[in-house]
Amino acid sequence: MRVDWWVVVLVTAVVLFGLYLRGLAGRLDRLHVRVEAAAEALDAQLVRRSAAVLETATCGLLDPASSMLLADAAHAAQVAEPPQREQVESALTHALRATLDGPEVSEVMASGGPGQEVLADLAEACHRVVLARRFHNDAAAATFRLRRQRVVRYLRLAGSAPMPRTFEMDDLPPEPLRIPG
């Protein structure tokens, strides 16, 4: 049997292209799973942070005005729905920086007194929001980059999965509570 060389080339090319597409589809699938897991983790860390803020507001460490500001912002964060959530969480960060940025806070952190534990918990919770948001946004951005490729768009390799969005908020903790990283 005689096989024309171009048939061989064509078949090889089609097979290789198919394998390439399969690899791309696998990467996309993994990234979507990753973004979803990262979004859940971010949600959990935001919830943990607002709980830690409420704890700080009600433990009697702060003056009544600061306590009220923080409790109000934390409550707003706990009930916020997706479209507003980025602003409301940023507002909570601003409230934290407005109330907990003084040298008194560093002193309590260094003292080892009763307030120290509450503030250390809060610092840890703020730090984890920073981590979780960075991991989420890195994964979302990577997915976005891959989905922008022509071959992915034209062949609809991403299927019906929604395009992931980065979560944009101000998550910079007040100076005395900052954990490097």
CB of 102 to another protein, least distance (A): 22
First to last CA, the chain: 66
Pick out residues in 118-157 that bind another protein (CB under 8 A).
124, 127-128, 131-132, 134-135, 138-139, 141-142, 145
Shortest distance, position 135 Cβ to another protein, whole Å: 5
Residues in contact with another protein, total (CB under 8 A)?
Answer: 30
The amino acid occupying position 109 is M
* Token digits of residue 42: 């971010």
- Applying CB under 8 A, does 45 fall inside the site for another protein? yes
Provide the minimum distance between the beta carbon of 148 and another protein in the complex, in angstroms, as a whole number.
11
Residues 115, 59 contacting (CB under 8 angstroms) = yes
Least distance in angstroms from the C-beta of 78 to another protein:
20
Cβ–Cβ < 8 Å for 53, 96: yes
For the chain, the C-alpha Rg in angstroms (whole number) is 24
Angle between helices 64-79 and 5-58 (to 10 degrees): 150
Structure tokens belonging to residue 107:
């002193």
Which residues make up the interface to another protein (CB under 8 A)? 16, 19-20, 22-23, 26-27, 30-31, 34, 37-38, 40-41, 45, 124, 127-128, 131-132, 134-135, 138-139, 141-142, 145, 179-181
